[in-house]
């Protein structure tokens, strides 16, 4: 005796096969399977549960038969919790719950759907578990029988093949999309010249291509040798405050940096290779790859998921390719930034040059005028620098300029900016400082330089090396950056006229005389 109408069975196989051959899209295959199996076995509801790639649960797929999409999308069978369906899948055994035993059905299987009888069978092919097909509520009063279950067993191998082909097709489509995205990433990365923009783009790429809950970009600080987190997403504010504000780890303690290759961890609970693997309590799997270009490794991309087995070898290969592209971009961006730095930096002293002074001063003037805040500016010139050069040679003169640049850095605030204006002239931008405070600062700097024991300074007029300084202020003395420089330069010229080793402020009524002059005693001012 046939189990179920033989013609119906053959017809159903043919229809599902025909539909699958037309297009292996998973949605199409699921629709055909649930509809045809449901019609043949007269089931109110049919759903296919697929084993998720993380191996932790069975997830119901849409489309299904007889269930609202909202219900289907919420159906998840936790494999760690015992139950009739999870046991059926785990033990690879068919399941029949007849109406008389319906009290054994876990009510959480189909929320808001009263299940009175049920059959289910595991799906597997090529030695791989795929999922579970579940039928609920036979249309006739007898409910599902052993014959129905046997028929479902016979159908399951073919259903498994259809689903496996559809899943393989979907995966190939995902990989093609990833490769397409990678090409776009390469194009985008190669146009980025700013490291900040590069790091932001890299995080967007990671979020788009991988199943990640959080990620870090750690770059080696060349001065400290530490991996410092330059960008992140997915971490709590508490974690960021307690961890990401500090250097992440010494380079030699990082697995990826030591072995210069991808680090793939499927379950942090079973991982012992890297001490930093579980950097927060929710992390379950991790993928780290080096950010490198050629033989130079600049840091790592650290990706984490709250699910086990979230990454595979294909992900590691793709992440490595992205890491190399980002590494080349980091190298290019650093070179670009270095070129820009050199363009605005004095090569001898390491201070900013006059080109950068004009840009920064213009910005500070606009800010000062907008917010009605004072802005002061100092011009400084080394007294009798030509004498020092003639007596001791230009190499010694260069050393003197470097030492003086260091003294200026040490004796100004972090918010102040020191420049080499040209030759033996220097300047300092002093934001939000009034005239009187700027005078005090200028005098203090003058005294520091006067008291410093410069090499071979005894050959200078007066026996030691000194400087003259001019101070101007906005809005007191100027309305724009050009006028501020001009007025400070006039004050400097007046300081020279007053006998050098002097700080002098600009005053309009004293264009031919000094105002607010600080320096050595009058007895010494008249000396050349």
Answer whether residue 177 is part of any domain.
Answer: no
Cα Rg for the chain, rounded, in angstroms?
Answer: 38
Give the Cα separation of 352 and 345 in Å (integer): 4
Q: Are 117 and 137 in contact (CB under 8 A)?
A: yes
Q: Which of 93-107, 224-238, 286-300, 338-352 has the weakest average pLDDT?
A: 93-107
Domain end marker among 309, 340, 371:
340
Same domain for 378 and 307 = no
Selected residue with higher pLDDT from 102 and 32:
32
Q: Are residues 427 and 513 in the same domain?
A: yes
The single-letter DSSP state of residue 243 is I
Strand 296-305 with 214-220, pairing: antiparallel
Q: What is the CATH number of the domain that holds 391?
A: 3.30.70.270
203 in a structural domain: yes
| Inside any domain, residue 285 | yes
Whether residue 42 lies inside any domain: the answer is: yes
Q: Which residue has the higher pLDDT, 258 or 185?
A: 258
- For residue 202, is it within any domain? yes
Q: Are 365 and 438 contained in the same domain? A: yes
* Same domain as 204, residue 146: no
Half-sphere exposure of 258 (CA within 13 A, CB side): 10
pTM listed for this prediction: 0.56
Place of tokens 């009605």: 372
How long is the chain?
A: 528
In whole angstroms, what is the distance from residue 49 CA to residue 34 CA? 11
Query: What's the confidence (pLDDT) of residue 80?
Result: 78
Q: Which CA distances in Å does 265 have to 144, 272, 286, 298, 318?
A: 44, 10, 5, 22, 16
**Domain boundary residue, one of 169, 198, 218:** 169
Provide the token pair at 180: 């397409």
The CATH number covering residue 88 comes to 3.30.450.40
The beta strand positions in 336-466, using DSSP E, are 375-382, 417-422, 425-431
179 assigned to some structural domain = no
pLDDT tens digit sequence for 404-461: 999 999 999 999 999 999 999 999 999 999 999 999 999 999 999 999 999 999 999 9
Looking at the fold, whether 162 and 34 belong to one and the same domain comes out as yes
The pair of three-digit structure tokens given for residue 223, joined into one six-digit string: 């001065």
Same structural domain, 13 and 144 = yes
Q: Where are the alpha helices (DSSP H) in 45-190?
A: 69-73, 84-91, 146-189
> Which is the catalytic residue, given 424, 425, 457, 509?
424
Q: Active-site residue 424, yes or no?
A: yes
Which of residues 340, 367, 393 is at a domain's end? 340
Mean pLDDT on 242-263: 68
478 in Cβ contact with 487 (< 8 Å): yes
498 and 380 in one domain? yes
**374 and 521, same domain (yes or no):** yes
Residues 452 and 375 in one domain: yes
Q: What is the DSSP letter of 434?
A: -
- In the chain, the N- to C-terminal Cα span, in Å, equals 126
Are residues 199 and 275 both part of a single domain?
Answer: yes
Task: Say if CB 185 and CB 206 are below 8 A apart.
Answer: no
Mean local confidence (pLDDT), 191-210: 82
Q: What local confidence, expressed as pLDDT, does residue 477 receive?
A: 94
Count structural domains, the chain: 3
pLDDT tier for residue 525 given thresholds of 50, 70 and 90: very low
Can you say how many angstroms the Cα of residue 341 is from the centroid of all Cα atoms in its chain? 24
CB 146 within 8 Å of CB 96: yes
Instruction: For residues 324 and 398, state if they share a domain.
Output: no
On whether residue 239 sits in a domain, the answer given is: yes
Please tell me the distance from the alpha carbon of residue 135 to that of residue 117, in angstroms, as a whole number: 9
296 and 377 share one domain: no
Range of the domain at 291: 190-340
């Amino acid at each position: 005796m046939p189990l179920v109408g033989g013609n119906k069975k053959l017809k159903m196989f043919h229809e599902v096969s025909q539909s699958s051959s037309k297009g292996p899209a998973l949605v199409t295959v699921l629709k055909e399977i649930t509809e045809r199996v449901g019609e043949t076995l007269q089931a109110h509801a049919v759903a296919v549960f697929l084993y998720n790639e993380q191996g932790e649960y069975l997830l119901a797929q849409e489309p299904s038969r007889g269930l609202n999409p909202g219900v289907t999308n919420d159906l998840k069978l936790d494999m760690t919790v015992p139950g009739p369906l999870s046991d059926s899948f785990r033990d690879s055994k068919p399941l029949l719950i007849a109406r008389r035993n319906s009290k054994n059905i876990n009510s959480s299987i189909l929320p808001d759907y009263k299940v009175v009888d049920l059959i289910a069978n595991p799906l597997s092919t090529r030695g791989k578990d795929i999922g579970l097909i579940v039928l609920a509520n036979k249309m006739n009063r007898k409910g599902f029988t052993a014959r129905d279950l046997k028929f479902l067993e016979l159908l399951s191998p073919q259903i498994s093949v259809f689903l496996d082909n559809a899943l393989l097709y979907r995966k190939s489509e995902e990989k093609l999309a990833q490769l397409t995205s990678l090409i776009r990433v390469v194009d985008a990365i190669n146009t980025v010249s700013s490291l900040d923009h590069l790091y932001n783009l890299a995080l967007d790429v990671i979020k788009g291509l991988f199943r990640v809950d959080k990620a870090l970009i750690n770059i080696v600080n060349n001065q400290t040798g530490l991996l410092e987190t330059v960008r992140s997403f997915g971490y709590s504010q508490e974690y960021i405050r307690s961890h990401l504000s500090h250097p992440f780890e010494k380079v030699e303690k990082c697995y990826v940096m030591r072995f210069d290759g991808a680090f793939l961890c499927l379950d942090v609970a079973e991982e012992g290779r890297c001490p930093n693997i579980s950097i927060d309590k929710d992390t379950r799997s991790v993928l780290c790859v080096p950010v490198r270009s050629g033989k130079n490794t600049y840091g790592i991309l650290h990706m984490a998921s709250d699910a086990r087995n979230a990454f595979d070898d294909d992900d590691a290969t793709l992440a490595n390719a992205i890491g190399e592209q980002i590494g080349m971009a980091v190298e290019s961006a650093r070179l670009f930034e270095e070129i820009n730095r050199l363009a605005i930096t004095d090569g001898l002293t390491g201070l900013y040059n006059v080109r950068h002074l004009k840009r920064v001063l213009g910005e500070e003037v606009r800010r000062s005028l907008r917010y009605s805040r004072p802005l002061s500016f100092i011009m400084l010139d080394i007294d009798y620098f030509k004498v020092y050069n003639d007596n001791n040679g230009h190499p010694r003169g260069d050393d003197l300029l470097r030492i003086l640049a260091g003294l200026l850095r040490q004796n100004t605030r972090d918010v102040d900016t020191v420049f080499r204006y040209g030759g033996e002239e220097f300047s300092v931008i002093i934001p939000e400082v009034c005239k009187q405070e700027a005078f005090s600062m200028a005098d203090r700097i003058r005294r520091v330089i006067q008291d410093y024991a410069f090499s071979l300074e005894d050959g200078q007029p007066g026996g030691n090396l000194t400087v003259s300084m001019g101070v101007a202020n906005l809005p007191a003395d100027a309305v724009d950056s050009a006028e501020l420089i001009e007025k400070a330069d006039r004050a400097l010229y007046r300081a020279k006229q007053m006998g050098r080793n002097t700080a002098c402020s600009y005053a309009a009524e004293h264009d031919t005389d000094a105002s607010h002059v600080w320096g050595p005693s009058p007895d010494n001012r008249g000396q050349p």
